[in-house]
Amino acid sequence: MKKSKLAKVSLVLTLALLFGSVATAETGNGIDEIVAGMSLRDKLTQMMFFCPRTWKEDPESEEPAENIRTLNDIVRQYIADRRFGGILLYAENCGDAEQLVRLVADMQAANAEGGGLPMFIAADEEGGNVSRLTFGTKGVGAMALTATGNPENARAEGKMHGEELELVGINTDFAPVMDINNNAANPVIGVRSFGDEAATVSEYGCAFLAGLHDTNTIASLKHFPGHGNTDTDSHTGLPLVNSTREDLLANELIPFRAAIDAGADMVMTAHIQFPNVETQTYTSITTGEEVYIPATMSRVIMTDILRGELGFDGVIVSDALEMSSIWDNYAMDDVLSMTINAGVNLLIMPSVKQSDDIQKIDAMIDRAVALCENGTIDVALVDDSVRRILALKQKRGILDMSGFTVTYEQVAAAVNGCGSAEHRQLAWDNACKALTLLKNENNAFPMKVEAGEKTLVLFTASTRAGAAAIAQQILEGMNALPEGVTLEAMTIEPDTAEACVEAAKTADHVLLVSRAWDASCLDPATENGFPVGVVNQVIDDLHAAGKPAIVISAQLPYDAACFPEADAILLAYCSSVTRDVLPATGEGSAYVPNLPAAICAALGVVQPQGKLPVSLPAVDEEYHLTDAVLYERQIG
């Protein structure tokens, strides 16, 4: 929230509550004086992101936890007492625009009442399928933006996200992703990346960054020094990358350097082992095996490379410390001491999901204080971190915020601005511009649907099947559907596969929608890849009946290699869970437009304009990705 939208009280009063007679920079003293007046505990909590996601009063109760969308008395008082540097919001916190405006204001007010400095309020709003707001405009995702062929589209979407975040009081976006997706089997980055080579990621990532900066939103580059070459998800495991320092400087670090030179304020770390860069080992507390210190805890990577080689002078934030890569391998004391001593300035603390998690956070705070007092954590680095944090808050106007009374005008602006017609049109236009017709033999694309003909849309993921109804509504609104035509959706699952095959035989037209989210989705021998075999069977049946087969790749484009006999393949690059009706406003109203746009394109209403932003590898006989390139990159 900007001070122009809120009733103001003096910042001096806020600081006085916490620091007694310490003056602000406005009265002649600066950040050093503020830091000098802070207690050690307040310095450490200023270095922490508090993550209140859900709440269950009795951890032993079988009742489900409730999403934290309003502050209960316990959480409100906790925020007031601990005076954290920031709060990280998740989808659990986001209902609708008015609710979120009030929640954010309540959090800031509770913190101010306890004497805290105004906080970073952050969210992972990358666009596409990584979007925390359940309303508003999700956008199309990074890889789709690159497929449009124009970095100005990335800047426009960055600005769009920044505008909607600002309207609800979120001042920090953990985006853009500057990882190069140079491993097609990467299970966690994929379409979150702008591409698979350094120049493209640099160009489009910096454009998205500029869009966020157009709205004064703090952007955080992630995940340093690069998460694109992993075959393990750091949320669930501890990835290892064998790149040398020279390898990183010649490739993965190029986009980060470009974005740092473009004025990035914040960089997020990666929980990844780089044994050829950081050689220090550690005995895993879970397995007893020797592992390496991850980038997050490495002074070589955080200070020597990020600060030294790349010249970054802003704020370094850890990725979430509760991720399995950290929590399952390293003791809490070592996580705290090594991360701070490595040069990381902000720590994303474990999420609060029930009442006893607050005690766990307090235990971490207590241990951090003790580790500083016994010299294990370098207090000079703590002071340096707090200075950097306050300098960034001052730069972006956060320190000037106060008086967190929500006004009618503010609520109206958020409700009307989040998911505005202008923003939704921008996202739709970019989704259409990104659609890439990878293959079109025998003029199979688009479908030639006549009045009354049965049109079947087969999905490989039930969570995406609602896109057919959304596309139907869009087509009807455009008067683009022949009379009597309905898009009938079915999902290929083990117990429905036979029915899907039979339905395809009787349909006049069949559209096949594949959604791959990792390499296991490509292999028909796996549970996740089972639908691939069914899709290929349907393709054979269609050809036997003299009908064309069109495949839409709804997410990772690498599944294109699995359907060599398809007549046409259209790439959409992103999808998300979709309802079976077009949402209006309110909770759950946001949807990713890529897949509905692709379905509309298959019926001839939208003209695909996109270019392939990554090279697509071939698969071998066992459907494993190979080094052979099946389709060459068209951008970069």
pLDDT of residue 588: 58
pLDDT digits (tens, 9 = 90+) for 325-370: 999 999 999 999 999 999 999 999 999 999 999 999 999 999 999 9
Q: Which residues are CB-contacts of 560 (< 8 A; sequence separation ≥ 6)? A: 438, 439, 551, 553, 569, 571, 616, 630, 631
Mean pLDDT along residues 498-519: 96
555 alpha carbon, distance to own chain's centre = 15
Burial of residue 377, with CB atoms counted within 10 A of its CB: 0-12 exposed, 13-18 middle, 19 or more buried: buried
User: What pLDDT does residue 1 have?
Assistant: 45
All domains of the chain, ordered by start, with CATH?
Answer: 3-415 (3.20.20.300), 421-631 (3.40.50.1700)
**pLDDT given for residue 587 in this prediction:** 61
d(CA 14, CA 20): 10
pLDDT tens-digit profile of 262-278? 999 999 999 999 999 99
Query: Cβ neighbours of residue 544 under 8 Å, at least 6 residues apart?
Result: none
Confirm whether 319 is a catalytic residue. yes
For the chain, the first-to-last Cα distance in angstroms comes to 38
Select from 370, 325, 318 the least CA-distant residue to 346: 318
235 is catalytic: yes
Sign of CA dihedral 401, 405, 407, 410: positive
Band of pLDDT at residue 14, cut at 50, 70 and 90 = very low
Q: What pLDDT score does 187 carry?
A: 80
Burial degree of 249 (CB within 10 A; 0-12, 13-18, 19+): middle
Return the sign of the alpha-carbon dihedral for residues 105, 111, 115, 121: negative
State the chain's mean pLDDT as an integer: 93
Please check the confidence at residue 13 and state whether its pLDDT lies above 80: no
Burial category of 456 from C-beta neighbours within 10 Å (exposed 0-12, middle 13-18, buried 19 and up): buried
Is 607's pLDDT higher than 80? yes
Q: What pLDDT score was predicted for residue 585?
A: 60
Which of 448, 425, 423, 431 lies closest to 609 in space, CA to CA? 431
For 201, 305, 390, the CA distances from 240, given in Å and listed in that order, are 22, 18, 34
Dihedral of alpha carbons 558, 146, 205, 84, sign: negative
**Looking at residue 371, what is its pLDDT?**
98
Predicted local confidence at residue 233, as pLDDT? 73
pLDDT for 26 beyond 50: no
Can you give the pLDDT at residue 583? 67
Are 582 and 471 contacting, i.e. CB atoms less than 8 angstroms apart?
Answer: no
Q: What pTM value is reported for the model?
A: 0.94
Say what percent of the chain tops pLDDT 70: 94
Mean pLDDT check: name the lowest of 234-243, 359-368, 536-545. 234-243
Least confident range of 81-95, 230-244, 538-552: 230-244
Task: Select which of 42, 96, 265, 319 is catalytic.
Answer: 319
The rounded distance, in Å, linking the Cα atoms of 415 and 101 is: 9
Kindly tell me if the per-residue pLDDT of 28 is higher than 90. no
Q: What is the pLDDT of residues 179-206, one digit of tens each?
A: 999 999 888 899 999 999 999 999 999 9
Strand boundaries in 107-196, DSSP class E: 120-123, 125-127, 130-131, 172-173
The pLDDT, as a whole number, for residue 237 is 82
- 270-318 pLDDT, tens digit each: 999 999 999 999 999 999 999 999 999 999 999 999 999 999 999 999 9
Has residue 422 got a pLDDT over 70? yes
What DSSP designation does 46 have? Answer: H
Average pLDDT over every residue of 124-129: 95
Pull the structure tokens for residue 236.
């669930």
Copy the structure tokens of residue 478: 């455009």
Contact of 233 with 285, CB cutoff 8 Å = no
Mean pLDDT of 382-397: 98
Largest CA distance in the chain: 84
- Selecting among 81, 233, 235, 508, the annotated active-site residue is 235
Structure tokens at 277: 């860069």
pLDDT of residue 619: 96
Residue 571 in this model has a pLDDT that exceeds 70: yes
Question: What's the CA gap between 326 and 321, in Å, rounded?
Answer: 6
> What number is the average pLDDT over the span 70-80?
98
Span 615-625, mean pLDDT? 95
How far apart CA 76 and CA 106 sit, in angstroms, is 8
Helix (H) or strand (E) holding 540: helix 530-544
pLDDT at residue number 231: 76
Q: Distance (Å, rounded) from C-alpha 101 to C-alpha 94?
A: 10
The yes-or-no verdict on residue 589 having pLDDT over 90 is no
Residue 23 has pLDDT above 50, yes or no: no
User: Among residues of the chain, what percentage have pLDDT more than 90?
Assistant: 89
Question: In which band, very low, low, confident or very high, does the pLDDT at 19 lie, cut at 50, 70 and 90?
Answer: very low
